[in-house]
Structure formats: structure tokens, C-alpha cells
Amino acid sequence: MLERLRNVFSLLGRKGVEDAIKELQRALILADVDIKMVKELTDSLRKDIQEELKKHPGIPPTEIAKYAIYNHIINLLDVGRPLKISPQTIMLVGINGSGKTTTAVKLAFWFKNRGIKSYVMSLDTERPAAKEQLKQLAEKGGIEYTEEVRNDGVTIIDTPGRTAADEKLLEELRHLKMDIMPDRTFLVIPADMGRLAGEEARKFQDSIGIDGIIITKMDGSAKGGGALVASKEANIPVYFIGTGEKLQDFEPFDVEKYVKRLLGVPDIKTIQEMVPQETKIPERFDINTFHEQLMQMRGAGPLNKILSALGMNVPVDVLEGMEEKMKRYDAIYKSMTKEERANPDIINESRIRRIARGSGTSEADVRQFLRDYKRAEKLFKRLKKGKIRGLPRL
């Protein structure tokens, strides 16, 4: 969606409300939001803005419009719901290729990280090697594969890919559900599904009963407008979104976070969540701490996620440059002596030369490293005072 939504706000400042609304329409269409719904939304938006303007003649129209747009989108996409962390059986259903199998393991992994024993189980006897795929993935996440529903934890059940278009196959799925009697049945919808998402949600709901939706592949350029609106229309909450290839790339759907990310508002909550949980604010900040933080950021997943959580929309080129930089920084760090890491102030010109040679980088690289370190140190001091405003610019 919606790098374009950012344009909406900037257009609002430059050209006024009507142009901004037009841009919003286009942004929503590009996000696979159903055209009728787009019309409804913008009609009600126009009305709202006019009424608010009458009520508050003192406030600039652009501010009123901004507020109204934000609220309308939140309202349109307010479909998230948290999942109870307790032993249960969850069955996943959905179209072929939506990402059910990966999601099964991600969901099990999510429970496991919250202290609940979790299992996965495959009822997909159709897709060749489906069980094999599930087993391999489960093993990666340290999750046990089971042949039957377990009572001592969470069991996630993978099913064959089904589309709502085939009623006969859907009927089979309904029988499967009756045999298993899961506590919850989730429909898995990929973020790039278009107009069909609504139809799928409705038909699955009617024929087998759906308790929630999981949207996968949110890391691509599609941002799930089809699926989100489908859930809104069918009145089925969205529990999770999948945001990458790794097992930990999986999070509960939080509408405010989502919309803020779309609109480019920095989101401190996401950044804090990305920092591994055992991380405490260290007592002292030296190059060791700096290096550790950098490497943790790398471990937290592709940089673009962290940056997009910060409301930065960085071209992929730049990001790749950054990954490169991380590698260089790692080499520079490794070429420093223990003493230098603990006391960066002693690093003089000749030490810089040595470090550059040792790490196979240039002196300019080492100086840049030291500058970034200084910046991070400053930030660290602010963080200790409890005032974080942004990560250091790399």
C-alpha cells in the first residue's frame, strides 16, 4: 500500500483536501481495497471533513483533514484481535500457496516462545511432500511433529490447499473439521490477494466457519488491503501477519502500528519489540556495546523492517549498502584491541591506520565507524534518561 499514503499528507499541505482525497483513492485501489469500499470511504471522509470544519472554524482545514483521514483508515482496517496464550488446537485452512504450512510452524513457534509446548500436524495428504515440508520446517524451529492432537499444549493443524470456488472440496474440509473439532479455525490469506479475498472469506465462513484470519507475505510490496478489507466485510478478526521468511517474522496485527507505518509516523513500540527480549540497557557504553547492538539489529531481521518501523522508507539500494556497511563494521571491530574497544578515546591516527589495514577497510571507514559510535553513545545517554527519539543514523 502505501508509500502512497505518505503522498496524501504531503499533497494535503501543497494542494489541498480534494487532491489529497484523490491520491488517497488511488493509494487504496493500489492496496487492493475494493473499489466500492474506496468510494464509500472517500464519500464519508468528505462529509466528515466538512462537518468538522463547520464545528471548528479556527483549525486549519489540512489538520482537520489529516485527522479525519487517519481515523477513517484506522476505522476501515480496525480488524485486529489478540490471541489467548493457552493450550488449544488450531486448524489452518486456505487457498494453495497462501503460506499455510509456513504459518503453521510460525504460529507454533510463537506459542513456544511464550512458554507453551507446541506441536504441528499435517492433514495435507494431497500436495506431494506436504508432510515432509512441515516436518523440515518444524525441526528448524525445534517444534515437535505429531500424528494426533495433543492435550498438553498447542497443536497447529495444516490442511490441504482449498479454494472456496470448489464446494465439494470445501465440504471435505468441513468434515475434516468435524473430526478434529479444533478450538479455532484460521483462514490464511496472502497479502497480495485481490478481489477474491472477500469471496474466499465469506465462503469459508459460510461453509466451515472461520474464527480468524492470518495474513501472510506482508513483506512483499503488497500490503494486504484485499485481506484486511475482506476481514472487515465478513466481520472476522485478523490475529496475525507474516512479515518474512524466518520463523520469527510473525506478529499480532496491530492496526495503529500498521497505519502509522503506512503513514510514515515513527513507531517506537515496534522498535522496542524488535530488540531481543533479554536485552537490558547496559551500564556502560563502549565499542563492545556498540558492536553488540549492531549485530543484534542485524539478527533482528533485515534492516528495512527496523527502518520502516521508524517511519523511514529507504530504497533497497541503500539498504544493501547498509548490510555491506554492517559487514565492514564487524571487520573493523574485530581488528581492534581489547583496550581500544573499552577505551575508544585512545584510538589515534596511527591506530586508525592499523585498524584499517587489519580489517581490509579504508581509514575513512574506520573514522566513520568512530563517528557512528559517538552518535550511538550520545543516544545511549539519552536512552538511559528515558528519552529515545530515534536510532543513530548509520
Partner 1 sequence: MKLIGKILEKLRGKKSIEELEMDLLEAHVHPDVIDLLKKAEDPISFIKERLRAAPLEGRIIMLVGINGSGKTTTAVKLAHYFINKGYRTAIAASDTFRAGSIEQLEEWNKRVPFILFKKGYGADPASVAYEAVHSDAEKIIIDTAGRQDTRKDLIEELKKIKRVSGADKTIMVVDATQGVSVLEQVKQFQEHVPIDGFIVAKYDIDSKGGVPLTVGVYTGLPIFFVGIGQNPDGLEPFDPDKYVKELI
- Residues near partner 1 (CB under 8 A) are 26, 29-30, 32, 34-36, 95-99, 101, 126-130, 132-134, 136-137, 140, 163, 165, 190-197, 217, 219-223, 225-226, 304, 316-317, 320
Cα 309 to Cα 313: distance, rounded to the nearest angstrom = 9
- Cβ pair 239, 253 in contact under 8 A: yes
- 3-state SS assignment for residue 60: coil
Helices (H), 16-120: 17-30, 35-55, 61-77, 100-112
Cα 220 to Cα 71: distance, rounded to the nearest angstrom = 25
In this complex, which beta carbon is closest to partner 1, that of residue 190 or of residue 212?
190
In this complex, which beta carbon is closest to partner 1, that of residue 131 or of residue 257?
131
Q: How far is the CB of 164 from partner 1 (least distance, A)?
A: 9
In this complex, which beta carbon is closest to partner 1, that of residue 50 or of residue 163?
163
Burial (CB < 10 A; 0-12, 13-18, 19+), residue 143, is buried
In this complex, which beta carbon is closest to partner 1, that of residue 164 or of residue 366?
164
In this complex, which beta carbon is closest to partner 1, that of residue 35 or of residue 364?
35
Give the containing element (helix H, strand E) for 185: strand 184-190
Q: How far is the CB of 204 from partner 1 (least distance, A)?
A: 13
Q: In what order do the strands lie in the sheet with 250-252?
A: 144-145, 118-122, 154-158, 89-94, 184-190, 212-216, 238-242, 250-252
In this complex, which beta carbon is closest to partner 1, that of residue 29 or of residue 275?
29
Q: How far is the CB of 29 from partner 1 (least distance, A)?
A: 6
Q: How far is the CB of 227 from partner 1 (least distance, A)?
A: 9
Cα 65 to Cα 67: distance, rounded to the nearest angstrom = 5
Closest CA to 225 of 47, 26, 58, 10: 26
Q: How far is the CB of 225 from partner 1 (least distance, A)?
A: 7
Closest CA to 11 of 2, 1, 23: 23
Q: How far is the CB of 190 from partner 1 (least distance, A)?
A: 6
In this complex, which beta carbon is closest to partner 1, that of residue 64 or of residue 77?
77
Q: How far is the CB of 36 from partner 1 (least distance, A)?
A: 8
